[in-house]
Amino acid sequence: MKVGIIRFPGSNCDRDVFHAVQLAGGQPDYVWWNQKDLSMYDGLVIPGGFSYGDYLRAGAIAAITPVVEGIKEVVKDKKPVLGICNGAQILAEVGLVPGIFTLNQKAQFICEWAELEVKTNRTPFTRLYKKNEIIKMPIAHTEGRYYTEYIDTLHDQDQIVLRFSGKDPNGSLEAITGVCDEDGMVCAIMPHPERASESILGSNDGLKFFKGMIDY
């Protein structure tokens, strides 16, 4: 599977994602912000970082770059798209997933390991996990607090992907830290699976996100 990894000025997790995709058996390739035609890719990952310095708000400037049109075409083709941290903020900003990721409740940067509950395994990224399985991945964000006015719809349509288990570090609504679109093909998560892709990093729980996508 050929996986495009989107790069913006300020991206800083692109190499980590490249390595994780390789570990999972995929063929990663970097894609710059000004590339419109992404039809050659079987799936996409939008990695974390601080695109355009998070000016205005996280993901706001990246959301109006040419590559977004290509991402939307990939979504129309029902190919898997994963947004991680800043990538999740970008997907929410352009309306490809419901809700928003806004300033943490304590308005400060949080960088720590988190226990997470997998709430659905119907997405390509979570299909190798058991429903309600507890996994461990790190978080690193200032604007990761999830909110939506349509929480009942998310429950009804099984669009909640990840929740914090026990402690909710950023004040997210119902401790939600990952959501998907109605089809489950577009997934936006704040935790970093690429930073939990090998046991030497402290956990390899995140590798299944990439294996599930690549073997889909």
Residues with catalytic roles = 85, 192, 194
The SS3 of residue 189 is strand
Q: How long is the chain?
A: 216
What the block records as the tokens of 131 is 């429903």
DSSP string, 102-169: E--TT-S-EEEEEEEEE----STTTTTSPTT-EEEEEEEESS-EEE-S-HHHHHHTT-EEEEESS--S
Return phi, psi of residue 165, to 5°.
Answer: -100, 120
Q: 145 pairs with which residues across the strands?
A: 102
Q: Rounded distance, CA 36 to CA 43, Å?
A: 15
What the block records as the tokens of 137 is 């991945």
Residue 167 CB coordination number (10 Å): 9
Q: Rounded distance, CA 208 to CA 197, Å?
A: 8
The SS3 of residue 58 is coil
